[in-house]
Structure 1
């Protein structure tokens, strides 16, 4: 194989602790570093690998580091400039489709999943070289190796030969192999982002005495938000930052920070991340701009940054982002430059645009939509929206996931993850770049390629992602999902005290894929006894302008009891005789006895009564907005109720 062919087997494997190792084909130039790894192996690890004590010199090591990439193939795992593990296979004489495998990881790195990653990484080159099966012998007492074979998802078969166990397994990917990889990827994403959203300590590198600067604002927000852990300001030019003792470097902090927030000019970012990673910092949120979005020099700078990131295994959000936020009372971290830190909730939000993130946080607070966590991913050089989806899938504090997307790094992986996550937690997304000019702008904004809109629409539809065209629409859908159950169908009962709004609501419902059915005879009879003869009781139910607040509550209960109704849309136009607060009070009381989702339209300049907010009944100014949001949620409900099926890739 030539060097280009070998390069495609290089990958960054995310481990169980959320950090990464770089896996690549071995080179003859690795001989000295392989010998250095050998020197760090314990006698017991050597015995488990070779079944007996063994020494190794440079010449003997060349047998292992010099391979032909055809009949003998090897991969190494490296981190921090050290080779810490190796996997290999050797084709069997007379059995060209079979090979003997071996895996070796140095003692200090045991238990992190490096061996599993190295073994799984052999599958692709083996398949390319016509090898369909692996064989190997393992000492019976080597329980770590036997467990690793099972954990890799390769479904090994074992034969007992006394003190030695012979194992065989197919080297072609199976459903179990792929499913195991997905689960390992999910666990790794959760571990990585735990250090981002719930770090034990934070250093703000570039913290400023001036709270009007980015570094000053981020540090001030962490203090004002009452982050539940130490926050270290790092500024070599200041003894104190905002009345807190400052440190000249990350290394000078009293403890190694679990996460650093980097707010220094782009040329200095690489060294900051290198120093933090070398100390053992697990995550970096890089707010600094001037990378892939900034032309050739910025692209080079980002490549150099990522070389440091991969060599040490630290995880990165950004660069070119506005930071991260966790509203959980046990964390209270506003690691962004947004002054808005709203009340905690159960909605998570990821934004690829930092500037838009500012508006998003402000809008969420204005609408009373509490957030569990927020991340601005920027250039997505490392951690991406796919990682966030997997983290929020496992987060017990998140029920709804919102996304603002400009590009996809790995659309196929996004589709797989979103289909799985969406069965339990709805995903609502705004994907910009629907037009040619929008696509061009999105590509230049973060330096990533934007996908064509037809392909995006198909991907979202297959994955069950609720796509909205505007942020206003996204927030409307999110408000319904965060406060009401997903309807079991698309049949809507409309209740109003004005004929015109009821007609508009019916038209809007049908335009959004909803049905406004005839009511059951029993429901019509009950409404007929409740309402005056002038009322229309067929659906929409027009109680006329004189409708009392009490009748609103009773009529809601009657409609919700109808077996042909899946959701209620309740409209109130303030007349002279009935107070909006009284209607809202009756609606809130009725809501506690109703199982179907309830949306309201209060066409009042006085805004939404507090009683509706307290009862978690979403309210809209006009029927069209309510019908649009309900239509999205109902379509999601239909998708979720269908069998998942299989995606042909």
Structure 2
């Protein structure tokens, strides 16, 4: 779409999205425009007679002016049309026309030249999500029986599709509310497309280095050297109009002049040439760009504008971008051997996938991995993260058999919701280790497109735990944990055996182990430091044979260098006969001690071939603290892997369309946003099955008595002032008032007590059950999207900040873990003889708040306070809701690159 084009009234810019198609290329989705008539006619003219007939049920070779006007002029509500474009041309169209209050007819038309790329599925996802926001609940379609491709689009989407044949036409009907299957299909398609897209980047057949010259030490020349010397198995080209060859590699004036289909172009040129080079790469059909050059968004507003234009040009042409200011890409696979990076030497091959953002961190990460003999499968540096991010790499690592663990050094995070979703899926099969101190306004590098988080940084840590991610503080801890997770079996439990040749070192190790939540069931035992290895082996053998130990921690201080090598060989031999996790402390040593002579065990696979298993090499640590911390992290991850992952929340009693109707009416009257008081909040809460107790605001004793008579005794009278509610010493409530006299006396006493504060507004409410007062909130954060919190009301929340955080969408296990995440949780379980609260009822309220916030981005905040949990259920006594024009979330329920 032309940026200077005038947009029609109501044009929904928030519907625009870049999507990765099935083949890994990129398409742009947007709403149709009146000015699309010529593009639509060109699209139609390129279609085959068969495609035209399948769409229009007639041989309509040319669209009339009337048809073009009708197709391109829509109201973006009852009549909606989306197009997918590639290099400015329409390649797919999807539309719906409302039939009645709840259903619409849907139709699609996909370019013959782009069939098989999943465009129809993308359009269906986007249209269904838009339609749900408009209050629609179902789609209908008329399809010719021979149009099997379109029938498969509906059938494969995961919805329950009903068909019937009338007059030779298949009538299709299905509800568009997301189901577990439809969500699974959507996420699987997103994963496959993004994995294919990155696979083409990290395993190219042809690479061109733009800016490679003959000047020694120049970036382009050095990267070309690194590719050549690293043994890249594909074809290499230089791009430089001034020379015929560089380092013996042929050079061409432009990428488009290269006599081969270039998969990846590595760009090392000045920023002022960037747009011309990207345009040339687009014309040449390049799949991906790795931009090493600096001087873009990190340099200021002009650089930000340049990046924006580059990204639009690349995505319109179906290309992906790594960088700018990237350190590069590395793939150590034998059939690739790609070192398209600033690292002067190829790193050792292995099973750890690594992602870092900045160049300096890339250097540190690769150097540390090399020193530890911890091999790398693939490495990527995103730089300014203009396009490709850690989320994309995780999608690739999900499928990469060579990668057995993933490490990410995150300086910033652009899309936490998508990160959480992908990381959770990846962590179910491979450990994900993340270095990130938190999410705050401090420390975001220049050039990173990051929204400002408003929630407490604790929310970030909670999100990682929710996703099963191993969160560490620095590079050393990341590799410490990776060593044990890659080279040892997962710990079966928290029980550990400790064996050493130093009493002091073994005792210290035991203290550290207990502090990390490990349970010592064997030892600590030790031999003398000068004892022969066979005595040490005897102690170890007992530890390995102890059925009450899941892991073995070895503390060894060799008196001679020769003894260290012998000890490692002995430990390898004993460990081979055990399924226990083994870590070892050898003062001054850090890394992975390979087994003698590079031994490998073989395992049978289905086709009869034999492949090497991951070697049980010995993880070594400089100190007991390092070893124990790594083992404890691996143990917690293994526990997360084994636990119940939960079921989707029940949507029983939820009326999403009704909630939209209420909220839309409020925002129509107050376009800038609106505060809903307790009374106004009852209607939207009721649409999600949350029963908010009524209250009556009173200003005199007579009004208080009248309200109590109407509500029914016993009642409470309480101040509505936030000052009073925030000061426990002011005691702004009177409870268990059983008659009119008690109400009148309570009201008068509160007025007298609070007169000095000029706080004369009170409420009368039925007396709630005795229980634990809690607070449930939901907030729409600019970075995280919806965030749900839970706490016990009072000082533990307000002063000690004992608050649990969770990022929707949640499942039933997530809700239970949110409740248990606070230190005050024992109060809910029957503290000091009190009866336990109705936990299921409390969980149901939290679940409904989470779904409400997830479904309705117009809810800027929701506060339920107090929610009194008691043995018989929960009483929701207070509520406030803030409405605002909906922010565009980074991770919406339809595929989109962000």
* TM-score (ref. length: structure 1): 0.92
Q: How far off is 1:128 after superposition?
A: 2.6
Partner of 1:574: 558
Partner of 2:444: 442
Q: Matched residues in 1 for 2:55 and 2:626: separation?
A: 66
Residues 600-644 of structure 1, C-alpha deviation per residue, up to 9 Å, x if partnerless? 112368999765795610111221111111111111111111111
Partner of 1:41: 47
1:206 to 1:608, Cα distance in 2 relative to 1, 3 A = closer
Residues 316-369 of structure 1, C-alpha deviation per residue, up to 9 Å, x if partnerless? 112221110000111000010111312210110000122110121111111101
Residue 158 (structure 1) aligned to one of 159, 163, 174? 163
Q: How far off is 1:577 after superposition?
A: 12
Residue 51 (structure 1) aligned to one of 53, 57, 77? 57
Is 2:33 the counterpart of 1:27? yes
Partner of 1:200: 205
1:312 to 1:577, Cα distance in 2 relative to 1, 3 A = closer
Residues 357-436 of structure 1 correspond to what in structure 2 (within 5 A)? 357-432=362-437
SS at match of 2:183: helix
Q: Structure 1: which 5+ residue stretches go unaligned?
A: 520-538
Q: How far off is 1:248 after superposition?
A: 0.4
Residue 490 (structure 2) aligned to one of 473, 486, 493? 486
**Does the CA-based 8 Å contact 1:486-1:597 persist in structure 2?**
yes
**Does the CA-based 8 Å contact 1:284-1:317 persist in structure 2?**
yes
Residues 245-265 of structure 1, C-alpha deviation per residue, up to 9 Å, x if partnerless? 211000111112011111111
1:162 to 1:634, Cα distance in 2 relative to 1, 3 A = same
Residues 151-300 of structure 1 correspond to what in structure 2 (within 5 A)? 151-161=156-166, 163-300=168-305
1:312 to 1:625, Cα distance in 2 relative to 1, 3 A = same
Residues 495-541 of structure 1, C-alpha deviation per residue, up to 9 Å, x if partnerless? 11111101111111112221212x4xxxxxxxxxxxxxxxxxxx101
Is 2:88 the counterpart of 1:81? yes
1:607 to 1:149, Cα distance in 2 relative to 1, 3 A = closer
Residues 519-576 of structure 1, C-alpha deviation per residue, up to 9 Å, x if partnerless? 4xxxxxxxxxxxxxxxxxxx10112234321233332222122121011111112247
Q: How far off is 1:231 after superposition?
A: 0.8
Residues 265-274 or 30-39, more deviating: 265-274
Q: Matched residues in 1 for 2:590 and 2:160: separation?
A: 65
**Does the CA-based 8 Å contact 2:582-2:618 persist in structure 1?**
yes
SS at match of 1:373: strand
Q: How far off is 1:447 after superposition?
A: 4.5
Is 2:557 the counterpart of 1:557? no
1:610 to 1:419, Cα distance in 2 relative to 1, 3 A = closer
Residue 135 (structure 1) aligned to one of 131, 140, 143? 140
**Does the CA-based 8 Å contact 2:438-2:460 persist in structure 1?**
no
1:343 to 1:607, Cα distance in 2 relative to 1, 3 A = closer
SS at match of 2:519: coil
What is the RMSD of the two structures over their aligned residues, measured on CA atoms?
2.1
Q: How far off is 1:234 after superposition?
A: 0.4
Q: How far off is 1:163 after superposition?
A: 2.9
Residues 446-455 or 116-125, more deviating: 446-455
**Does the CA-based 8 Å contact 1:581-1:609 persist in structure 2?**
no
Residue 317 (structure 2) aligned to one of 306, 312, 315? 312
Residues 188-197 or 274-283, more deviating: 274-283
1:301 to 1:613, Cα distance in 2 relative to 1, 3 A = farther
1:305 to 1:605, Cα distance in 2 relative to 1, 3 A = closer
Residues 578-587 or 344-353, more deviating: 578-587
**Does the CA-based 8 Å contact 2:543-2:549 persist in structure 1?**
yes
Partner of 2:15: 9
1:427 to 1:279, Cα distance in 2 relative to 1, 3 A = same
Q: How far off is 1:578 after superposition?
A: 8.4
Q: How far off is 1:70 after superposition?
A: 2.9
**Does the CA-based 8 Å contact 2:230-2:345 persist in structure 1?**
no
Q: Matched residues in 2 for 1:636 and 1:345: separation?
A: 21
Q: How far off is 1:69 after superposition?
A: 2.0
SS at match of 1:508: helix
Q: Matched residues in 2 for 1:292 and 1:212: separation?
A: 25
SS at match of 1:148: helix
**Does the CA-based 8 Å contact 1:35-1:57 persist in structure 2?**
no
Residues 408-440 of structure 1, C-alpha deviation per residue, up to 9 Å, x if partnerless? 121111111111110110001101457x6xx52
**Does the CA-based 8 Å contact 1:433-1:440 persist in structure 2?**
no
1:37 to 1:492, Cα distance in 2 relative to 1, 3 A = same
**Does the CA-based 8 Å contact 1:10-1:24 persist in structure 2?**
yes
Residues 398-547 of structure 1 correspond to what in structure 2 (within 5 A)? 398-432=403-437, 439-444=441-446, 446-449=448-451, 453-517=457-521, 519=522, 539-547=523-531
1:606 to 1:641, Cα distance in 2 relative to 1, 3 A = closer
Is 2:68 the counterpart of 1:61? yes
**Does the CA-based 8 Å contact 2:526-2:539 persist in structure 1?**
no
Q: How far off is 1:240 after superposition?
A: 1.8
Partner of 1:342: 347
1:73 to 1:446, Cα distance in 2 relative to 1, 3 A = closer
Residues 246-297 of structure 1, C-alpha deviation per residue, up to 9 Å, x if partnerless? 1100011111201111111122222212221222111111112222222211
Q: Matched residues in 1 for 2:382 and 2:12: separation?
A: 31
1:574 to 1:96, Cα distance in 2 relative to 1, 3 A = closer
Partner of 1:522: none
**Does the CA-based 8 Å contact 1:553-1:589 persist in structure 2?**
no
**Does the CA-based 8 Å contact 1:433-1:450 persist in structure 2?**
no
Residues 61-70 or 475-484, more deviating: 61-70
Q: Structure 2: which 5+ residue stretches go unaligned?
A: 1-6, 599-615, 649-808, 811-853, 855-898
Q: Matched residues in 1 for 2:222 and 2:561: separation?
A: 51
Residues 471-497 of structure 1, C-alpha deviation per residue, up to 9 Å, x if partnerless? 111111111112111101111111111
1:494 to 1:578, Cα distance in 2 relative to 1, 3 A = farther
SS at match of 1:579: helix
**Does the CA-based 8 Å contact 1:491-1:516 persist in structure 2?**
yes
Residues 176-229 of structure 1, C-alpha deviation per residue, up to 9 Å, x if partnerless? 222211111100111101111101111111112234121111111000011011
Residues 94-105 of structure 1 correspond to what in structure 2 (within 5 A)? 95-105=100-110
**Does the CA-based 8 Å contact 1:612-1:619 persist in structure 2?**
no
1:2 to 1:499, Cα distance in 2 relative to 1, 3 A = farther
SS at match of 2:90: strand
Q: How far off is 1:14 after superposition?
A: 1.2
1:211 to 1:181, Cα distance in 2 relative to 1, 3 A = farther
Residues 199-208 or 127-136, more deviating: 127-136
Q: Matched residues in 1 for 2:262 and 2:505: separation?
A: 57
Residue 579 (structure 2) aligned to one of 595, 605, 609? 595
1:400 to 1:45, Cα distance in 2 relative to 1, 3 A = same
Q: Matched residues in 2 for 1:446 and 1:466: separation?
A: 24
**Does the CA-based 8 Å contact 2:487-2:619 persist in structure 1?**
yes
